[in-house]
Amino acid sequence: MAGSLKSLKNQLDVIASRSQAIENDIKKLDSAKKDKDKKTATDSLLKQVSQSIPVVQKLEDRLKKCKKELENNQNDEETTKDKTRKNEKSAEESELESELKAQLMRNVEVHNEKLKVELALQEKIRELKYIKQENERLQDDCKHSQSQAVKFVQNFEKKAKEASAKLISMQEELKKSQELTNRYRDLYDTERQKYRTQPYGKPGGASGSKENVKSANSGKESFRHKDDRSVESRSSSEDPPNSQSMLAHGVSVNDIIRKNQSLSREKKSLEQEIKDLRKENQDLMKRAKETFSDRDSLLHQLNSSEKAKQEISKQLQKEKAQKQQLEKSLTKQASDWIQRRKQVQQYEDEYRWSLVNQDSKDQKSESPYKSLQ
């Protein structure tokens, strides 16, 4: 009997140390400010509670065993009234132990639920950070695409203006050259027709031909100067050279024709360049439309992400509030459990010493749960 009581005392001491450790962990959890410290304190508290469960079960078994031994030792001495009180005491003890065990299991379940909520919150926070980074990257891409589209459009407009101005200038030069060519051609046809109709060997023809040669030589120089000025300035206001200078300098007509052909080729080249620029403009406009379409899509995604962010933030605040409530509830339940455990320990001590001392029958028959009622 003494050995059984000693073993019971040792187990009660273990329960007391466990209760003290749990109380210390609760104080650490209450004083923790950082999430890391809270997590460490919570894990330690969960570990202590989990380790206390088998100790409590062993204590329950030991109490039952001690109870049986006490009942066997006092079976002959106890009266019917004492047995009735003992049965009531056993029922109250079992009820208290069951209540403590159920409360402990509820505390463990609450702690597990809290851990699950914290893990879900951490996952949502990571998702929110990833969405924010994607939004920032998409905004940078959108701004870059807009700046590139503006540069392309400005470059195209500049090239289009330059090509249009050059085309207008070339068209004016071509028009002037065509007018000058037509004038020279008409003059050439007139002179040729005139010399065809003039009979050969007509009196005064030789002298006339000499005069024509002299006038042609004298007009040749003037025609050169006039032709050079007409080619360089391409001014339609110049007077056409006389027929003699035209005959003496007939090569200038071919030069003008070649110049006309060169201008025509250059005109075609410019027209082709304008077509290419227009095509490039169409491509740029298409790319600009696609860019703006992508921009609208990105803005829509950004708005959706912002709404999701707000919803997640609200949910996060709600989860934090629930977490605080759970922590308060867990702390309160743990404190209640410790208080009850202390009361049970006090009762066990009183009951044990009352059995050991056996001072009087009143002490033997006294209900051990009066202090708890």
In this structure, are residues 334 and 22 in contact, taking their beta carbons and an 8 Å threshold? yes
| Under 8 Å between Cβ of 260 and 207 | no
What is the distance between the alpha carbons of residues 173 and 9, in angstroms, rounded to a whole number? 122
> Which of 24-38, 83-97, 159-173, 282-296 is least confident?
83-97
Domain boundaries, the chain: 2-139+314-365, 141-198+217-308
Given this model, what pLDDT does residue 244 score? 39
Contacts of 350 (CB under 8 A, 6+ apart): 368, 371
- Confidence at 359, pLDDT banded by 50, 70, 90: low
Averaged pLDDT for residues 87-112:
77
142 in Cβ contact with 298 (< 8 Å):
yes
Q: What is the predicted pLDDT for the residue at 198?
A: 63
CB-based contact 171:253 (threshold 8 Å) = no
% of the chain exceeding 70 in pLDDT: 74
Q: Which residue has the higher pLDDT, 366 or 293?
A: 293
Supply 24's token pair. 């210390």
Six token digits for residue 119? 């893990």
Helix (H/G/I), strand (E/B), else coil: 77: coil
**Cβ-based neighbours of 357, under 8 Å, separated by 6 or more:** 363
Smallest CA-to-CA distance from 30 within 22, 1, 257 is with 22
Q: Which tens digit of pLDDT belongs to each residue from 127-155? A: 888 888 887 888 888 788 778 878 877 88
Residue 116: both structure tokens together: 């699950």
Give the separation between CA 319 and CA 157, rounded to whole angstroms: 58
Question: What is the C-alpha radius of gyration for the chain, rounded to an integer number of angstroms?
Answer: 57
Integer Cα distance of 303 and 300 in angstroms: 5
* pTM of the entire predicted model: 0.30
- Rounded to an integer, what distance in angstroms lies between the CA atom of residue 278 and that of residue 127? 46
Q: Report, as an integer, the average pLDDT of 229-252.
A: 42
**In degrees, to the nearest 5, what angle opens at C-alpha 257 toward C-alphas 255 and 263?**
105
